[in-house]
């Protein structure tokens, strides 16, 4: 009941609580929709005279609930396209604004009554279009959007990243271009979502220990700048000035990008989810999708939903979701494990995220400890040997961390494409859209990816993509372009 109330456009937690309190005080008023309308004070009272057929305002009922419905109606008149179109149509027919609001309140009361009395799982599911590897959200246009949230709506790598969004991706200026667009959206986050987003600049540094790495950086530097990425080559001394843990003698040079920020990924997901609700989207979590038919009918334990469009942004589960729709996405889960060091013997200042270009080892400060990652053990490699490799790199690059204890806070999978660049596009014969393969950097590219999906949904010509975007049916043979060599390690 509570969750269904929250899916109604304009109903938040406080509004839902007021409605539930009113119903709890008058349970007998739920015997019919008409009785509930009288409780809310929105049942029209005939006031016709002569040839004039009209109804007057009902001043009875629970005035608190009536005021709540009024506020919902005002919100919809401001933010809901369908409500604005209805107001314009009724205004053209000669109705006064007061009468139009009365009609809107009666319609809203009908929606609330259905949510309060819905016991049929199929009906409750069909209120909204969906999409998953496991969990769905839907919009009024009939677009079902599948993702995999945990509890509050964020799962997979998004909930457990190192808490960084950045624009520099070594050897991949096109991903950098997406990240620059996304970072601009994060800076403008509050204006679009009405939710604050705390961005704390830390910077991102890549340590070069080989002359070829420096040459590769210089070869792509101009393309990185053309993509809007702020990055430059600095000396080992300058690198150690930014991160005092670095051993100058072990480093030849470093790439330094100031545009990297600490952020809470859950704040991003919750902000966008709240904005989606305000625009009429309905979000259902903990609703696994079990099957997707050829006509875009989605089956869940709560019932079946017919969607005009399906959008798959399911992270590591994208391949699984796509296969339900007989779409072949060349995705593979990529494992990663995050490690914490013990608290260093001497306090350290907050440092930028620092990556070793050769090994992919990444470190950054996390409160009074150091957070680090270097993939997972290779096939056939013992965990002790893998930890030994990490310890060896730490001792060489960051002598102050030599011999420090390591703890395991989290491990899991993220989505990876054959060439470690995102796949964004749609199926050629059905309305199945997808954005996957972000290789652990989904938050860095999410707003830009969302813009591309938006353009596809409204049949605009999207911006050029950086990877193949048209997977074929799983039942047909497909040939994918030869992937470019991966030049970045997952982040």
Mean pLDDT of 439-453: 89
The yes-or-no verdict on residue 367 having pLDDT over 90 is no
Kind of pairing, strands 204-208 and 200-201?
Answer: unpaired
**Cα(80)–Cα(160) distance, integer angstroms:** 34
What's the pLDDT at 182? 94
Q: What share of the chain has pLDDT > 70, as a percent?
A: 81
Tens of pLDDT, residue by residue over 452-484, are 999 988 875 444 544 433 443 333 323 233 333
CA 156, 159, 163, 166 dihedral sign is positive
Span 304-308, mean pLDDT?
87
Would you state the pLDDT for residue 218? 95
Tell me what pLDDT residue 128 has: 31
pLDDT-wise least confident of 60-74, 249-263, 403-417? 403-417
Q: Please state which of the ranges 64-73, 184-193, 281-290 shows the lowest mean pLDDT.
A: 281-290
Q: What are the backbone angles phi and psi of residue 440, rounded to the nearest 5°?
A: 85, -5
Residue 388: pLDDT above 50? yes
Most confident residue range from 2-6, 75-79, 447-451? 447-451
Could you give the C-alpha distances from 216 to 219, 238, 257, 480, in angstroms and in order?
A: 5, 20, 16, 26
Say yes or no to pLDDT of 287 above 90.
no
Residue 215 corresponds to which tokens in the numbers above? 């040459």
| Residue 196 or residue 356, greater confidence | 356
Average pLDDT over residues 230-254: 95
Q: What percent of the chain has pLDDT over 90?
A: 29
Spatial CB neighbours of 340, under 8 Å, sequence gap ≥ 6? 366, 369, 370, 371, 372, 406, 407, 408, 409
The confidence score (pLDDT) of residue 236 equals 95
Extents of the domains making up the chain: 2-119, 121-491
Q: Is 104 helix (H, G, I), strand (E, B) or coil?
A: helix
Per-residue pLDDT at 136 exceeds 80 = no
Distance CA 339, CA 257 (A): 24
Say if residues 443 and 158 touch (Cβ distance below 8 Å). Answer: yes
- 310-350 pLDDT, tens digit per residue, is 999 888 888 888 899 888 888 877 778 888 888 877 777 78
pLDDT at 145: 59
Model pTM? Answer: 0.63
* Neighbouring C-alpha atoms within 13 Å toward the C-beta of 250: 16
Q: 459 or 377: which carries more pLDDT confidence?
A: 377
121-491, what's its fold? D-Amino Acid Oxidase; Chain A, domain 2 (3.30.9)
92: three-class secondary structure by DSSP: helix
Does the structure show a pLDDT above 80 at 32?
yes
Tokens describing residue 156: 């997979």
């Amino acid at each position: 009941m509570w969750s269904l109330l929250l899916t109604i456009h304009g109903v938040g937690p406080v509004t839902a609580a007021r409605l539930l309190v009113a119903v709890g005080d008058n349970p007998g008023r739920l015997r019919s929709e008409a009785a509930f309308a009288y409780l809310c004070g929105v049942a029209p009272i005939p006031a016709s005279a002569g040839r004039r057929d009209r109804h007057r305002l009902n001043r009875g009922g629970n005035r608190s609930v009536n005021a709540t419905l009024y506020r919902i109606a005002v919100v919809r008149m401001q933010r809901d396209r369908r409500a604005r179109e209805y107001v314009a149509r009724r205004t053209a027919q000669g109705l006064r604004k007061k009468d139009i609001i009365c009609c809107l309140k009666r319609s809203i009361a009908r929606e609330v009554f259905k949510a309060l009395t819905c016991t049929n799982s199929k009906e409750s599911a069909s209120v909204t279009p969906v999409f998953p590897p496991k969990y769905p959200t839907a919009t009024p246009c009939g677009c079902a959007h599948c993702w995999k949230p945990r509890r509050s709506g964020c799962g997979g790598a998004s909930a457990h990243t190192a808490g960084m969004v950045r624009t520099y991706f070594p050897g991949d200026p096109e991903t950098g271009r997406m990240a620059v667009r996304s970072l601009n959206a994060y800076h403008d986050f509050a204006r679009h979502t009405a939710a604050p987003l705390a961005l704390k600049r830390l910077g991102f540094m890549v340590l070069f220990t080989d002359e070829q790495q420096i040459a590769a950086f210089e070869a792509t530097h101009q393309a990185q700048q053309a993509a809007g990425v702020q990055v430059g080559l600095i000396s080992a001394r300058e690198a150690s000035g930014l991160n005092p843990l670095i051993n100058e003698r072990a480093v030849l040079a470093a790439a330094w990008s100031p545009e990297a920020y600490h952020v809470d990924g859950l704040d991003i997901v919750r902000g966008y989810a709240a904005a989606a609700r305000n625009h009429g989207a309905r979000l259902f979590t903990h609703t696994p999708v079990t099957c997707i038919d050829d006509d875009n009918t989605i089956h869940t334990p709560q019932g079946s939903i017919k969607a005009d469009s399906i959008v798959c942004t399911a992270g590591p589960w994208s391949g699984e979701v796509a296969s339900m729709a007989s779409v072949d996405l060349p995705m593979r889960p990529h494992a990663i494990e995050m490690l914490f060091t013990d608290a260093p013997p001497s306090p350290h200042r907050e440092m930028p995220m620092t990556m070793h270009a050769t090994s992919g080892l990444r470190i950054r400060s996390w409160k009074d400890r150091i957070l680090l990652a270097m993939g997972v053990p290779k096939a056939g490699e013992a965990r002790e040997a893998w930890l030994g490799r990490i310890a060896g790199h730490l001792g060489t690059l960051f002598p102050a961390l030599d011999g420090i204890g390591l703890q395991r806070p989290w491990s899991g999978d993220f989505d990876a494409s054959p060439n470690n660049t995102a796949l964004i596009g749609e199926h050629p014969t059905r309305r199945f859209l997808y954005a996957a393969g972000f290789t652990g950097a989904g938050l860095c590219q999410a707003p830009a990816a969302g813009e591309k999906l938006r353009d596809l949904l409204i049949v605009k010509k999207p911006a050029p993509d950086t990877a193949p975007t048209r997977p074929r049916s799983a039942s047909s043979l497909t040939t994918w372009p030869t992937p470019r060599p991966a030049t970045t390690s997952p982040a």
